[in-house]
Each structure stands twice: as structure tokens, then as C-alpha cells.
């Protein structure tokens, strides 16, 4: 391919993303409880795994070391940071808010502002206070009331510092892994309560949207969608093509369609591509280039996802896109190739306004523990020192120049 210089629109946001539980350390919530449970430990022991690698524990110690993280963001020339709040830390007991935690988050957000970094704040990224879980968690309609109380607190205490709001991160991922395959807490399999959870997610999103907008009418509020790109295993087979249509609708559109009027932009998390066949096992991802986690690398899918979202006529921000790549061999091209397709979408008039690489740091990758390395920065598990990987330099150049050079 001849050398190409892809210029991004002025004001395009260049960022990186993390979530509270995955980096903060020292949290007690439904995940930390599950990690310590007998069922979980027995399973890991049977698989011959080292339990410590699967306990979130201190994570990256970012709650204390947030200054180090901000240094990394500055080194990367990032103009924005997507980070999360930990509900269980802010409200350790139902209805009792921890003032020191609020003050601490305020300090983090203020420091970001002082460093001219725009804030994309996630209110819920999969983890829940234990007191909520004891009452049935997201299956209980009361979650609507509880979440409103939490959202009101955040709006009142931190709202003045927020540039973009993400109410829920990938709610459908929790439906899939929490209520269908049981991989994530509450570890239910094909459980019909998932419908209650879906409707509570939708209600919580809408009411939080209103709470934020009542106080800040110009706020930019949305959610992060777990998107997927699909192609037919056999393009000539109409049934395979039908599968693609259905998958696209249920993965990318169904939930969003139910929230019309309740999002100001679209938050895209893009990692997945599947080749679909109408015949079991339905997925036919054959010998493709993959990440350390075995996920197929398919940058063209990003353009497909972005194009699909054009119909909503809202600005789009890519809030997560990244690769588990311990050797850092694939990451530079992974980033550039995805940006190539984001740029293709922009060239076609699709209003893409930002890109957030997942993740700033190596962090706790949920049920997979610490072995997948998504970070632009490696984190020493003992000293918590952050070290830039070569790809961090590549990304820093892109952020600085607002362009991608493909050679």
C-alpha cells in the first residue's frame, strides 16, 4: 500500500479508557466477593491456575496513583480520558455516601481538568455494591430507585467537571455473561430473570439521563454499546445473510432503539467480529489473525459498525477499542488499522468525533484475571510502576498530530 496520511477532523478527541474496578484496587463489591467464593476458587484450582492472578485486589492502585496515570495520559498527548466511578466505594452502605470518596474523585477529576484533559465519566461499569446484590441486584425493580439516588449524588457532587457521561457500560455483556453463559456474576445460566434485568437497565438509563439533563441541559449523555461486526460465512447463502441481519439487529440496534430520545451521542466499544452460518455452531471464525485472548482482529468491522449507527444521526465516539497483546507486536498496527477504518467512515460523512484506546494500563481483565495485557503501559504487579510499551509512542504521535501515517 502506498504511504497514506490520514488527517482527522479538528477537535477530534484522542483518549484512552479504563474502568474503576479494573484499575483502582481495594474495592469490595459483587465481583470481589465472587472472586473469593469457593465455587470460583475450586474451579481455578482444578484448572491448575494461580488464584492470586484471578483476584482483583490492588489492581493498578490507581485510586492512590491517579497522578501517575495522568502522567501517562500527558505522555500520550491524550485530550480526553474515559474513567469510571465505583458505586460500592461511594455508597458502601445503602443510602450512606462516603464523603471522603466523593472528595477523592473530585480531586482526580480536577487534576485531569488542570491538565486540560476532557473527562468521559462512566457511572456503572459492571460492578455493584454488595448491599444491592443482597436485595437481588439488577433483578429487583428497586435498583431503579437506588441508581437514581446514586446518579443524583454524582450529578450534584461531580457534575460540573464532567464533559461526557456514560451511564452504563455494555449492559448487554452482563446479560450474556451474567444470565446466559454464567461466566460473570451473578453466574446464572439461561435464566429468564434476564428480561427483568434488561428492563431495569433501560429504565435506569432513561431516568439517569433525565436526572443529568435536568441539572445540566447541555450535558452529553449516553451509554457504551458492546458492538459487533458480522459477515456471512457464505455470502451467497441467503440464510447466512439472514443470520447476519439478526445478529446485527440484536447486538447493535435493539437496545439502542429502546432508548431513542435518551442519548446525545453513541458510545461504541468495538472488539468483535463473527462469521455467521445458519448451521450450528453458527460461528465460523476460521484460522484468522487473533489476539492473546483468541479474539479475531478485524479492523474493517469498525467501519461497518460506524456506518450502521449513521441512521441515528448522532455524533459517535469510539469509547473502547484495544488488544490483549503481551508482546506488543500487534498493537501498533492494530491501532492504525482500526483508525484507518474509522477514517474511512469519517470520509463518508459519518460523524465520528473521538477514539479511546482500551486500555491505558494493563489491568484486571474480569474473569480472565491479570494475564491479558491490554495496556499501552505495562504495570509491574509488585511495584505498580507504569512502563510505556513501544505502541504507546506510536499512539502518542497519532494523538499529537491528529493524524495516522500508514506506510
Binding site for ligand FCB (CB under 6 A): 19, 22, 169-170, 173, 226, 269, 320, 358, 365-366, 374
Cβ proximity to ligand FCB, 140 vs 291, nearer residue: 291
Cβ proximity to ligand FCB, 66 vs 358, nearer residue: 358
To ligand FCB, the closest distance from the beta carbon of 365 in angstroms equals: 5
List the one residue out of 316, 314, 302 whose CA is nearest residue 344: 302
To ligand FCB, the closest distance from the beta carbon of 18 in angstroms equals: 8
d(CA 174, CA 192): 14
Cβ proximity to ligand FCB, 138 vs 366, nearer residue: 366
To ligand FCB, the closest distance from the beta carbon of 95 in angstroms equals: 28
To ligand FCB, the closest distance from the beta carbon of 237 in angstroms equals: 30
Burial class (CB in 10 A: 0-12, 13-18, 19+), 348: exposed
Cβ proximity to ligand FCB, 27 vs 269, nearer residue: 269
- DSSP alpha helix (H) spans, 76-192: 87-90, 99-114, 130-134, 142-158, 171-179
Question: Hey, what long-range contacts does 370-373 have (CB within 8 A, 24 or more apart)?
Answer: 370/53, 370/54, 371/53, 371/292, 371/326, 372/292, 372/293, 372/324, 372/326, 373/292, 373/324, 373/325, 373/326
Cβ proximity to ligand FCB, 168 vs 204, nearer residue: 168
Cβ proximity to ligand FCB, 277 vs 359, nearer residue: 359
Cβ proximity to ligand FCB, 140 vs 226, nearer residue: 226
To ligand FCB, the closest distance from the beta carbon of 132 in angstroms equals: 19
To ligand FCB, the closest distance from the beta carbon of 374 in angstroms equals: 6
Distance of CA 316 to the CA centre of its chain: 15
Name 26's Cβ contacts closer than 8 Å, sequence gap at least 6. 58, 59, 63
To ligand FCB, the closest distance from the beta carbon of 7 in angstroms equals: 29
Cβ proximity to ligand FCB, 44 vs 173, nearer residue: 173
To ligand FCB, the closest distance from the beta carbon of 11 in angstroms equals: 25
Give the helix/strand (H/E) hosting 352: strand 352-358
CB 392 within 8 A of CB 377: yes
For residue 15, give the C-alpha cell.
483518549
To ligand FCB, the closest distance from the beta carbon of 17 in angstroms equals: 8
Cβ proximity to ligand FCB, 62 vs 169, nearer residue: 169
d(CA 69, CA 375): 12
What are φ and ψ of residue 319, in 5° steps?
-90, -15
d(CA 145, CA 149): 6
> What is the number of other CB atoms lying within 10 angstroms of the CB of residue 59?
24
Cβ proximity to ligand FCB, 173 vs 202, nearer residue: 173
Phi-psi region of 205 (alpha: psi -120 to 50; beta: other; left: phi over 0): alpha
To ligand FCB, the closest distance from the beta carbon of 392 in angstroms equals: 18
Largest interatomic CA distance in the chain: 61
Burial class (CB in 10 A: 0-12, 13-18, 19+), 83: buried
Distance of CA 15 to the CA centre of its chain: 13
Cβ proximity to ligand FCB, 128 vs 140, nearer residue: 128
To ligand FCB, the closest distance from the beta carbon of 161 in angstroms equals: 22
CB 393 within 8 A of CB 387: no
Amino acid at each position: 500500500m502506498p504511504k497514506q496520511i490520514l488527517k482527522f477532523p479538528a477537535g477530534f478527541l484522542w483518549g484512552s479508557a479504563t474502568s474503576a474496578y479494573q484499575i483502582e484496587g481495594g474495592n469490595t463489591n459483587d465481583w470481589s466477593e465472587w472472586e473469593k467464593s469457593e465455587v470460583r476458587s475450586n474451579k481455578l484450582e482444578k484448572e491448575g491456575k494461580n488464584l492470586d492472578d484471578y483476584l482483583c485486589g490492588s489492581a493498578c492502585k490507581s485510586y492512590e496513583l491517579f497522578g501517575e496515570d495522568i502522567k501517562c495520559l500527558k505522555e500520550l498527548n491524550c485530550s480526553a480520558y474515559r474513567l469510571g466511578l465505583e458505586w460500592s466505594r461511594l455508597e458502601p452502605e445503602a443510602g450512606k455516601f462516603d464523603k471522603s470518596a466523593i472528595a477523592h474523585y473530585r480531586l482526580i477529576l480536577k487534576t485531569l481538568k488542570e491538565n486540560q484533559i476532557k473527562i468521559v465519566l462512566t457511572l456503572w461499569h459492571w460492578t455493584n455494591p454488595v448491599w444491592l446484590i443482597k436485595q437481588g441486584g439488577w433483578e429487583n425493580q428497586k435498583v431503579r430507585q437506588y441508581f437514581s439516588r446514586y446518579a443524583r449524588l454524582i450529578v450534584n457532587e461531580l457534575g460540573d467537571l464532567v464533559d461526557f457521561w456514560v451511564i452504563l457500560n455494555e449492559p448487554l455483556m452482563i446479560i450474556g455473561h451474567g444470565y446466559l453463559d454464567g461466566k460473570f456474576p451473578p453466574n446464572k445460566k439461561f435464566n429468564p430473570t434476564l428480561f427483568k434485568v434488561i428492563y431495569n437497565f433501560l429504565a435506569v438509563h432513561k431516568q439517569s439521563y433525565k436526572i443529568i439533563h435536568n441539572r445540566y441541559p447541555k450535558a452529553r449523555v449516553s451509554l457504551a454499546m458492546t458492538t459487533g461486526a458480522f459477515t456471512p460465512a457464505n455470502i451467497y447463502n441467503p440464510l447466512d445473510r439472514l443470520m447476519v441481519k439478526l445478529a446485527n439487529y440484536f447486538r447493535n440496534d435493539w437496545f439502542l432503539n429502546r432508548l431513542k430520545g435518551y442519548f446525545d451521542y453513541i458510545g461504541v466499544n468495538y472488539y468483535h467480529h463473527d462469521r455467521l452460518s445458519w448451521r450450528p455452531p453458527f460461528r465460523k471464525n476460521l484460522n484468522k489473525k487473533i489476539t492473546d485472548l483468541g479474539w479475531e482482529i478485524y479492523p474493517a468491522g469498525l467501519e461497518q459498525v460506524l456506518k450502521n449507527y449513521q441512521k441515528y444521526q448522532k455524533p459517535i465516539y469510539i469509547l473502547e477499542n484495544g488488544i490483549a497483546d503481551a508482546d506488543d507486536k500487534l498493537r501498533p498496527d492494530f491501532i492504525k488499522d482500526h483508525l484507518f477504518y474509522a477514517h474511512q467512515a469519517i470520509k463518508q460523512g459519518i460523524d465520528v468525533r473521538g477514539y479511546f484506546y482500551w486500555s491505558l494500563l494493563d489491568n484486571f481483565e474480569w474473569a480472565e484475571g491479570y494475564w491479558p495485557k491490554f495496556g499501552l503501559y505495562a504495570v509491574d504487579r509488585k511495584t505498580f510502576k507504569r512502563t510505556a510499551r513501544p505502541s504507546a509512542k506510536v499512539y502518542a504521535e497519532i494523538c499529537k498530530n491528529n493524524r495516522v501515517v500508514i506506510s
